[in-house]
A and B are shown apart, each in its own frame.
Chain A
């Protein structure tokens, strides 16, 4: 109804400004390297066959990972958005945990659980009485997909469940009365309405996998499995070829950018209906199915994480030990202070980044929804389209430009960088909510003589609260696991738990790293539990 609403744009401006300062400027600086010497590096990248081989594999692995993740998520989401049962919320919460784990621990957790010598194989060998590994899962293409699905299917699961839970089921009922089967109804009636959520999670996962590389290398076990990110990393960290790295970044950014533009959510989301869909209580057969599904999900998501916890207390030989915890306490600056510092830093940064991401993200999402803008969500999605290596390079340019020498600046920069990294998730998660607010609701408030500000506060943002919660959890988890930006921008003065984990490992202490990983998981779990246990959302 009301086009080009400046009020909401103005509200979104601070968030946009942060993005420009902390993301676009460093990125522009990075990319400018690609054009040095008349774009020599760029020409090389575009004319190199290897670039296209990388592109082919990167697309293959990321499309496949995203496809499988969403395909796995849809039937689960169907069940979780229709029924309510004990444990439903807990499972939804737990599935977001994998987000927090830095990739090195994911690898470790996977090896401890799925490895040829891992727990799963050891158990199977004992049960079957064999003396060789039964399951050969790792070090192959399927291991890459397994790990990617493991890490990312929660995104699809949570986003699709969220969208589906508020989708009224009257059209489905209408289709049934017209004699349509369940499957036909799903494909022709439900799927089109779910498509925005499915597409959105697909793209998120796609982008994640597009820039994945350490998991691909270790678990793939073969150098032909290489993504753009591998090559960009090589140019940044091994051959110190900034021009080449920038050129390749630009190429990959171009691909992801185009994909983002093509798939940017332009269509109107279905508007909030008066009556929320009531979740049915699962009974009898459905309850059994619910328990089975929950078990399956937990069996998939928990073991690698629990493997890390297990390793924090048990050695490879199986002996119980608290040595790892003692090692943590032995930080050279004094008893426990290092680990404590890490815990507090991680917590504080993640809390601030997530709170601000939700704050700015909801404003950007509202502005985008009100103005029906495609540009705004796109702009805020860009950090996601930029791989972590490129992002890291950009941040190092930023660090050099600022050349600051204060701890406060370190913290602010790290916080800002985390914000930039998690903001896309917040915006993506909140946007469907913002779009589902009917124009007439705001119009009704205006005709009561209520100002835009008060309408936004009391009515619009209040309706966003379930979306904001989900966004907060995502953002918090993501920030908790962040390593690169923190290292680059803090001069090593800000130690978060993931950084401590890497440092532990670089001094051979894998068990200590597992102990720190356990702390990280606990921290995320506590925040998630508080978030879920909080006041029930107003539309209930």
Chain B
């Protein structure tokens, strides 16, 4: 009896949050987004209600894990997918999403710089972008490196936190970055060979890498050019700075697209336009990315997120080449 009561209690407790939240409704625009967008501290918390209020369109935001899981899901669901819009596919995986998307020549496209438009058919429209960069602790007493090659210097031994390209898109970003700088020659191999010593560790993901960095385990970490913004806005410090190298940076561009065969094309278009205009700043700040819309005035904090003059698009490297580079990397690093 006690057990039964306990079980009932447990079920009631579990059901409480259900009652607190409204049941889902018919005729809503279903948007697949990666988890950090849908997060409570993410932009969705304020943006979605705003969009719903302005347009009267209800949005059902579904967090489908990370960007890759989102693609997986759309692939698996195929025509049965509930999604009308998918948000957050990066340019390097765009090719996998194209078969499920339809073109949309948004009027806002003219406000987006051409070098960011990676899909000529506008199935995926960029809404924000970021550049991978090394962030460093300016109070560490070391010289700031000015290029990837500088990082291989002896003085940075055990001072750099890298990220594994097998388990993280940021790590993969660096791999492609070094490829774009050094190409198919021996330099590529030599760089990574030296970094085996200079890397304190090669973390599984950005989260742990950056955590190690803020705990002071090493003064240099692979991250984004925009990372200092958080420290300026929240810790009121300019101690952590993004290093901009003249040779160029690997960029990642996130796109939004309308799912093929949607019955809510009109609403979907409104949502895309909303993301490309009003939502730009909120998303940029929350994601620590740059907005694509060139007409926008950026807040002061972005002064600490220097935009590199030269960008390599991750999507420009073919998936086969990426796969090959990963295998090479593993060979170099585990020898």
Contact = CB atoms under 8 A, between A and B. Distances in A.
A104 interface: yes
Instruction: Output the residue of B36, B46, B216 with the most chain A CB within 10 A.
Output: B216
Interface stretch (B68-76, B106-114, B121-129): B68-76
A510 B214 CA distance: 8
B139 to A, nearest CB: 11
B333 interface: yes
Given A223-B330, A224-B334, A344-B17, A333 B40 contact: yes
A222 B202 contact: yes
Contact of B39 (A117, A138, A506): A506
Interface in B62-84: 62-66, 68-69, 71-73, 76-77, 80, 82
A223 B333 contact: yes
Interface in B1-17: 3, 6-7, 10-11, 13-17
For B3, B10, B14, B286, the residue with the greatest tally of chain A CB atoms inside 10 Å of its CB is B14
Contacts of A53: 334
B23 A407 contact: yes
A145 interface: no
B202 A221 contact: yes
Contacts of B200: 116, 139, 221
A532 B170 CA distance: 45
Contact of A332 (B30, B46, B80, B214): B46
B211 A223 contact: no
A246 interface: no
A230 B209 CA distance: 16
Contacts of B234: 323, 508-509
Interface string B204-236: 110111111011110000000001001100100
B202 A507 contact: no
Interface string A402-433: 01011110010001000000000000000000
Nearest to A504: B41
B68 A237 contact: yes
A436 interface: no
B65 A347 contact: no
Nearest to A461: B3
Given A349-B14, A403-B80, A108 B211 contact: yes
A400 interface: yes
B201 interface: yes
Interface residues of B, number: 81
A104 B207 contact: yes
B42 A503 contact: yes
A394 B322 CA distance: 26
B216 A217 contact: no
Given A214-B204, A333-B45, A355-B6, A491 B64 contact: yes
B166 to A, nearest CB: 4
B166 A396 contact: no
Contacts of A233: 166-167
Given A217-B202, A503-B35, 20 more contacts: A50-B330, A118-B215, A213-B204, A226-B334, A231-B166, A237-B167, A238-B169, A238-B326, A240-B72, A331-B45, A341-B17, A355-B7, A355-B10, A396-B72, A403-B82, A411-B18, A488-B69, A491-B63, A492-B64, A503-B39
21 contacts: A104-B207, A107-B211, A112-B215, A117-B215, A138-B201, A226-B334, A230-B204, A238-B68, A331-B45, A344-B17, A355-B10, A356-B10, A403-B82, A407-B24, A504-B41, A505-B207, A505-B210, A507-B41, A507-B286, A508-B227, A509-B41
Interface of B: 3, 6-7, 10-11, 13-18, 20-21, 23-24, 30, 35-36, 38-42, 45-46, 60-66, 68-69, 71-73, 76-77, 80, 82, 93, 96, 164-169, 172, 196, 199-205, 207-212, 214-217, 227, 230-231, 234, 286, 288, 319, 322-323, 326, 330, 333-334
